[in-house]
Amino acid sequence: MQVTIRYFAGARAAAGRAEEHTAGGRTLDEVLDELTARHGDQLARVLRAASFLVDGVTCHDRRTPLPAGATIDVLPPFAGG
């Protein structure tokens, strides 16, 4: 089963895409390690500061296995007023 990763704002720019897929059956930390290896330092910096939603819910434990078919939203810090 695959996991969908959706990038927003600065994460989208750093990854060079809005969305991608990866193999499921892993933890969020494991997926983030793969994304860092795939996309390099620029995305790694964004991921260190980002928040993550898994199927629309804030992820507090990045070592819990992701549910099958999960969608991960990568939300970098937003500036605004």
CATH number at residue 56: 3.10.20.30
Per-residue pLDDT of the chain (81 residues; tens, 9 = 90+): 899 999 999 999 999 999 999 999 999 999 999 999 999 999 999 999 999 999 999 999 999 999 989 999 999 987 555
**80 assigned to some structural domain:** no
* Residue 66: domain span: 2-75
**81 assigned to some structural domain:** no
Q: Are strands 57-58 and 2-7 parallel, antiparallel or unpaired?
A: unpaired
* Residue 28 to residue 7: CA distance in whole angstroms: 14
Tracing tokens 């990763």 back to the chain, one arrives at 5
